[in-house]
Every structure is written in C-alpha cells, then in structure tokens.
Amino acid sequence: MGYLEKMNDAIQYVEEHLTGDIDYDIISKIACLEKSSFQRMFLVMTDMTISEYIRKRRLQCAIMDLVETTDQVITIAMKYGYDSAASFTRAIRSFTNQTPSEIRKRKTQVHFPRIQFEMVMKEGKMSMNDKTIVRIEEHYGEKVIRFDVDCMEPETEAWKLMSEWCRENVTDRVGRRYLGLAPKGHHPDGKEHENAEEHVSHPYSAMMVLLGEEGQQDTYCGKKVEDAPNGLFLVNEVLLNQYDEYGNLDMARSMMKASEAFMEFMKNMKGYDFDYEQGIFYEEHIFSERWFQEGGFPDGFRMWVPIKKIQ
C-alpha cells in the first residue's frame, strides 16, 4: 500500500536527524500529508504522538551511547537535544527509573526500536504492526432503533435526532454501536464528491444497536425495534486524516482512502468476495460523551462492507 511506503520514508527522515533538528513540515511532506493529518494518522497507527516517538528514539540512542562509549554525559545530552545534564538526567530517569551514571555502570539495555510500518494478514485479519486495521465480522439476529430522514444535510439531522433521543432515554450510551446508512448513496443524483460540507439531499438512517433484552419487545423507549444489518462484513478502521482545501475534515475522502485497505485485504484473503448485490456499506460512528453533549465529528469511524463466502 502506497501510504505505508510514504510513512516509512518519513520515519527514515526522523532516524537520519535524531541528533539534529527535525522539521515536522518536512516529515509531513515526505508522507504526502498535511502536518495535522500526519500527526493524527501517526497517533492512530502507533498509539503515540510523533513527538513522543522522537523523544523516546533519542533517549534509546542516548542510552546506547552511555553504555557503548566513554563520552561525557553532557556531551551525550547535547548530542540529542538537551541543553543541560540536569534536564537530560530527568528525561533518562523518567524513561528508565535510572540515572545516566547508573545506566553506564549497570550497562542497562532499553528496547525502543525504530518503527517499521507493515501490513500482516493472519486469521482473517489485516493488521498494521500489532493494530488490527481490517477484520471479518459476522452479525446475525441483532436489533436496532433507527432515525430515518430525507433532506438536505441528512447525516447531520439524523445523528442530531439520535443524540437527542439518547440523552433522554439511554444512560449507558457510550460504548454502544451506532450505524449509519445512505441507502441510495451519498450522491444519488450522480454528482462527484467535492468536499466534506457539500449540501446534497438524500435519505439517510442513523441506528443504535440494542443490547440483550432491549431488542425483545416491539418498541424500545418509544421507538420501533427493527432488524439490524445481518451477514458477513469486512470492517475497517477509518483514519480521519483527509481534509479539503479549507482545512475542514473531509469524511468522504477519509472513507475513500480507507477503501484501499479493503481492496488490499480482499486481494490476499481467499474464499471471500464483496457482496455486490447489496450495493451498500454501513458507517459505524464511535461516540464519546463529548459528542452527545457538544456534537461535531465522531471520535472514531469504521466502515462495514458486506461480503460473502465463495466456493
């Protein structure tokens, strides 16, 4: 996948400049991303910020110098960007619970290697390093309540209705599964995608998957109980890292980018194919309490694409 090669090129730049200045703008350009997009993408892919990664890599290299050379502590400190032995000692102690002199005496080894981004296919999952990016999920017999709209900016309206209903009726609203669906697509009139804020009228459904006994009645808190999406799905973590020319998060382009991982997965996974007859995909929105109180973009996003087993 092309973006992994670019991310690895960015890491190569970091490695070559651990003892000098590191320009975050240059890192982002190498990765072919805006700086804010690169920082978000790196965080999602590694569970740490790029600044934290650089700091730990420098400390790793500094510890190697302490063990393998006789250079003075202040010389090593300045080599890796610390302006005093005291600040270097504090950083080393925070990283290892030891002082530089103790590390040198004990020849302490710390393992924080360079990151290498790679995709691994195993047991029906595609992982980036140790983080699952694409997986197969099977869903049958689940129930949902839903809010259906057909208007301008239907996604905003449907999720607004869902949020208001949840605040009134559900106390454990965080951690549930919320699915969105545009049954006729986001551009039923055939227009091409332009940006994340375009105004296009079309139907849209926002759904909350019910838990246990919640789905055993005809209604739940005044809403009709309906069948949830059933079958096999390829589920992909969507990196919200695409922006339009005005700097606004572009959800649609982020989803388009995520589809590359679907295609890569299906090329390598035998026995399955996309279920083209359904012709739709679902959007799983991940909400924190912040979203229910303030609205805005979801805290996470997944795509569900129907698939089927083949002979």
Which three-class secondary structure state does DSSP give residue 25? helix
Contacts of 122 (CB under 8 A, 6+ apart): none
Residue with tokens 């390598």: 268
Instruction: Tell me the mean pLDDT in the region 40-58.
Output: 87
Contacts of 168 (CB under 8 A, 6+ apart): none
Instruction: Tell me the mean pLDDT in the region 1-15.
Output: 85
Taking 80 as the threshold, does the pLDDT of residue 75 lie above it?
A: yes
Q: 176: how many CB neighbours lie within 10 A of its CB? A: 14
pLDDT at position 137 is 87
Phi, psi of 306 (to 5 degrees): -65, 135
Can you give the pTM of this predicted structure?
A: 0.61
pLDDT at position 32 is 85
Q: Are strands 201-209 and 178-181 parallel, antiparallel or unpaired?
A: antiparallel
pLDDT at position 193 is 47
pLDDT at position 311 is 67
Taking 60 as the threshold, does the pLDDT of residue 108 lie above it?
A: yes
Helix (H) / strand (E) element for 154: namely helix 154-169
pLDDT at position 57 is 96
Region for residue 117 given its phi and psi (left: phi exceeds 0; alpha: psi -120 to 50; beta: otherwise): beta
- Of the candidates 192, 298, 174, 168, the one whose C-alpha atom is nearest the C-alpha of residue 237 is 298
pLDDT at position 195 is 47
Which three-class secondary structure state does DSSP give residue 230? coil
pLDDT at position 197 is 44
| Cα 238 from Cα 258, distance rounded (Å) | 6
Instruction: Tell me the mean pLDDT in the region 28-32.
Output: 90
- Of the candidates 121, 111, 113, 131, the one whose C-alpha atom is nearest the C-alpha of residue 47 is 131
Query: pLDDT digits over 212-254, tens only?
Result: 899 999 999 999 999 999 999 988 876 555 555 555 555 556 6
Query: pLDDT digits over 133-172, tens only?
Result: 678 889 999 999 999 999 988 999 999 999 999 999 999 9
Residue pair 258/236 in contact (Cβ under 8 Å)? The answer is: yes
- Higher local confidence (pLDDT), 106 or 268: 106
pLDDT at position 196 is 44
Query: pLDDT digits over 260-309, tens only?
Result: 666 777 776 777 888 877 667 898 998 999 999 998 878 878 888 888 88
pLDDT at position 273 is 84
Q: For the CA atoms of the chain, what is the radius of gyration?
A: 24
- Of the candidates 298, 295, 296, the one whose C-alpha atom is nearest the C-alpha of residue 167 is 295
Query: pLDDT digits over 185-218, tens only?
Result: 765 555 554 444 456 688 999 999 999 899 999 9
**Which contacts of 59-63 are long-range, i.e. CB under 8 A and separated by 24 or more positions?**
59/91, 59/92, 59/95, 59/110, 59/112, 60/110, 60/111, 60/112, 60/113, 61/18, 61/19, 62/88, 62/92, 63/92, 63/95, 63/96, 63/103, 63/108, 63/109, 63/110
